[in-house]
């Protein structure tokens, strides 16, 4: 469903069918027309293996969210760039249309140093390691598996008295909510 007009792919705000573009970080979607994308920008964005919405957009150069007032978007590729990450740095976001060096042909598009999604994953793993203690978690899959095991165990033990062993090795409700 489009986050702007609340319609699905069968109808945009103009009543026409239109594919949705979905943010790979948060899952929010939007019709290109609701996002104000030109046809050329829409075609370019559809070629990406991952696209970030305005809320999740990170700088292509440093990979960070940073200051919204310094993050600008290329009108040709919709990638984000901080004014102070550019060479030369810009003192402020320029008015009107702006194109990045990649789209002007001065550089090849490269993946950012780290993404917001990677940072979120690292924070989740850190929290999981605090909850699971010495057992820890090496990956998000391991963290999810341990969490699923705990939830399954809780559901199976509903109405039964927990064993001392289970209580000693399981996170409490407050710890699970903090993930």
22 in a domain, yes or no? Answer: no
Residue 42 CA: distances (Å) to CA of 76, 99, 159? 9, 15, 54
Residue 8 is predicted with a pLDDT of 93
171 in a domain, yes or no? Answer: yes
Range of the domain at 122: 116-177
Residue 158 is predicted with a pLDDT of 57
120 in a domain, yes or no? Answer: yes
Rounded to the nearest 10 degrees, what angle do helices 140-156 and 116-132 cross at?
Answer: 50
Least Cα distance to 58 among 38, 73, 77 occurs for 73
Residue 11 is predicted with a pLDDT of 93
113 within 8 A of 62, measured Cβ to Cβ: yes
153 in a domain, yes or no? Answer: yes
124 in a domain, yes or no? Answer: yes
168 in a domain, yes or no? Answer: yes
166 in a domain, yes or no? Answer: yes
Q: Which residues of the chain have a pLDDT value below 50?
A: 111-116, 161-170, 172-177
Residue 34 is predicted with a pLDDT of 94
Number of domains in the chain: 1
28 in a domain, yes or no? Answer: no
Which secondary-structure segment (H or E) carries 80?
A: strand 80-82
Residue 169 is predicted with a pLDDT of 47
């Amino acid at each position: 469903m489009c986050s702007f007009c609340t319609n699905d792919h069968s109808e945009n705000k103009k009543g026409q069918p239109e594919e949705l573009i979905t943010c790979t970080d948060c899952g929010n979607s939007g019709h290109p027309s609701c996002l104000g994308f030109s046809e050329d920008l829409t075609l370019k964005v559809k070629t990406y293996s991952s696209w970030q919405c305005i809320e999740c957009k990170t700088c292509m150069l440093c990979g960070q969210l940073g200051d919204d007032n310094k993050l600008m978007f290329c009108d040709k590729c919709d990638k984000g760039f901080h004014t102070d990450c550019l060479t030369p740095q810009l003192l402020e976001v320029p008015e009107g249309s702006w194109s990045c060096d990649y789209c002007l042909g001065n550089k090849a598009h490269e993946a950012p140093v780290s993404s917001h999604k990677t940072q979120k994953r690292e924070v989740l793993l850190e929290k999981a390691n605090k909850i699971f203690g010495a057992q820890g978690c090496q990956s998000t899959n391991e963290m999810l598996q341990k969490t699923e095991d705990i939830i399954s165990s809780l559901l199976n033990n509903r109405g039964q008295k927990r064993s001392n062993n289970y209580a000693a090795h399981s996170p409490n409700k407050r710890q699970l909510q903090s993930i």
